[in-house]
Amino acid sequence: MSTSTIRIAAALLIGSDGQTLLVRKRGTQAFMQPGGKIDAGEQPVEALARELHEELNLRIEPSAAVYLGTFSAPAANEPGFTVEAELFQVQIDVAVTPAAEIEEVRWIDPAGDGGLQLAPLTRDLILPFYRSSLTA
């Protein structure tokens, strides 16, 4: 892995109505999956649980997160970098509130883009992946 790769754990958070939650970090334009960088020595699912708590005041059981695979795309907020996401699906039925560096949260219908500017990883890989799982 090169130094221009950012390793993260990310959540495909799905509500009881099938909508998915996206977040926008303070000072940025693009909406993306919640999650964040994996610390040295940390397992991806542990990073995910930590980041969801920090960003959304959401506590999850790591065992409830279903691993979906590794997805890579150009980083939305770091030009010249690639983000490599360990993606987990998490079903939730509780309210979330933006915290830490998160400025805004939006639930969107996965059939569209919610009229939002989306990060490349979300737009090109994760939403199409989720859509295809709904029609399978």
The DSSP 8-state label assigned to residue 78 in this structure reads S
Nearest-Å Rg of the Cα atoms of the chain is 14
Of 24-28, 31-35, 62-66, 131-135, the poorest mean pLDDT is in 131-135
For position 135, what pLDDT does the model report?
76
pLDDT tens for 40-92 read 999 999 999 999 999 999 999 999 999 999 999 999 989 999 999 999 999 99
Name the pairing type of β-strands 66-74 and 20-25. Answer: unpaired
Range list of β-strands (E), 3-135: 5-14, 20-25, 35-37, 66-74, 82-91, 102-108
Tokens of 110: 């996965």
Work out the pLDDT band at 102, boundaries 50, 70, 90.
Answer: very high
User: Which amino acid is present at 57?
Assistant: N
Identify whether the C-beta of residue 13 lies closer than 8 Å to the C-beta of residue 92. Answer: yes
Q: Residue 11: is its pLDDT beyond 90?
A: yes
Give the pLDDT confidence score for residue 27 in this predicted structure: 93
